[in-house]
Amino acid sequence: MTGQGEEPFIAAVKPLVDAIGGELVPPDEAGQDDVVLSWEGADVVAVRLPQLADSLDHILAALERRQGMPLADLDRRAKQEVVRMLEARGAFSVRHGVETVAGALGVSRFTVYNYLNREKGA
């Protein structure tokens, strides 16, 4: 899949692809929705983007790693901050987004809606 000069390029983009929950695939296996990346005029690698629902799960897992504990163990203020950050990233436009976030935070959907409404009213 790679020539010698292309490997630094792949190494450079891999953290970004991992952060968004994408997958690197050979460019000749790229599908219509994949993004083909070129380096020095040649197609090097394709990025298979995640489905939105998968992205939300990936974001929640990354938040848990960053916090160093399950999101359900956070205090109320930290949970509110998580909800604000997720809203800014469009998490609640995903089907079942509120339910997914509520489950990860160990709260009810009603509580997530309260956090969202509180932010809008502030």
2 confidence band (pLDDT: 50, 70, 90) = very low
What is the crossing angle of helices 97-105 and 52-67, to 10°? Answer: 20
Q: Check whether 29 has a pLDDT greater than 50.
A: yes
Model confidence pTM above 0.75: no
pLDDT at 119: 65
For 84-115, write each residue's pLDDT tens digit.
999 988 888 888 899 999 999 999 999 999 99
Percent of the chain surpassing pLDDT 70: 90
DSSP track, 52-102: HHHHHHHHHHHHHHHHTS-GGGS-HHHHHHHHHHHHHTTGGGSTTHHHHHH
